[in-house]
């Protein structure tokens, strides 16, 4: 499920890249930002992130290994599973994920190369939640008996919940250095 969400986000970001040209002069004025132009290729570097743009293709890589959009997507996927499949379980995990997603939304809105608002991010999450709920309903079995819910419980919720403080610190660590939010590398 997380891979599907990430694939959809990549397509969404690719469309956004083509739809919104960057204001490279304004980006270059941001503290700690370097913009390098080589013909049709532009590289933007800030906070350990390199975004390479070649015509209508864009790739961002976070050298810290903690790509904000990756962690944001994983947190949303885990939150969706907890909320939709196991609404009466994992209250501390759900609260931690809520806090991280809210902080990540603020970070993404503040650091994106293209204008992005928290309201847009929250609408994206709400849309994903609605699609997830519709998928679970269409499966025709109680959420806790849904195969995908059971797999996500084992693979995501139980490990996250068992080491809650470790994952809280790891999630918070992703937001310490201002830099463009990117998806790569994704764990």
> Has residue 95 been placed in a domain?
yes
DSSP letter assigned to residue 155: I
184 DSSP β-pair partners: 61
Show the CA angle centred on residue 77, arms to residues 128 and 51, nearest 5°: 85
User: What is residue 19's predicted lDDT score, i.e. its pLDDT?
Assistant: 54
> Has residue 131 been placed in a domain?
yes
- pTM (predicted TM-score): 0.85
pLDDT in tens, 100-131: 999 999 999 999 999 999 999 999 999 999 99
> Has residue 17 been placed in a domain?
no
> Has residue 181 been placed in a domain?
no
> Has residue 126 been placed in a domain?
yes
Structural domains counted in the chain: 1
pLDDT at 132 over 70: yes
> Has residue 2 been placed in a domain?
no
pLDDT in tens, 50-87: 999 998 899 999 999 999 999 999 999 999 999 999 99
Please give the residue range of the domain that contains residue 77: 68-173
> Has residue 150 been placed in a domain?
yes
> Has residue 117 been placed in a domain?
yes
């Amino acid at each position: 499920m997380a891979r599907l969400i990430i694939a959809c986000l990549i397509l969404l970001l690719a469309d956004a890249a083509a739809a919104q040209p960057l204001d490279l002069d304004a980006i270059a004025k941001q503290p700690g930002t370097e913009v390098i132009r080589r013909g049709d290729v532009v590289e933007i570097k800030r906070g350990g992130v390199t975004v390479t743009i070649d015509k209508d293709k864009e790739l961002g890589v976070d050298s810290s290994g903690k790509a904000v959009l990756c962690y944001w997507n994983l947190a949303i996927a885990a939150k969706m599973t907890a909320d939709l499949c196991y609404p009466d379980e994992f209250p501390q995990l759900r609260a931690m994920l809520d806090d991280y997603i809210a902080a990540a939304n603020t970070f993404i809105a503040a650091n994106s190369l293209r204008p992005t608002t928290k309201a847009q991010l929250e609408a994206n999450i709400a849309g994903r939640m609605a699609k997830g709920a519709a998928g679970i309903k269409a499966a025709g079995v109680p959420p806790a008996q849904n195969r995908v819910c059971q797999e996500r419980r084992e693979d995501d919720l139980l490990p996250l919940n068992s080491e809650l403080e470790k994952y809280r610190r790891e999630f918070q660590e992703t937001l310490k250095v201002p830099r463009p939010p990117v998806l790569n590398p994704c764990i």
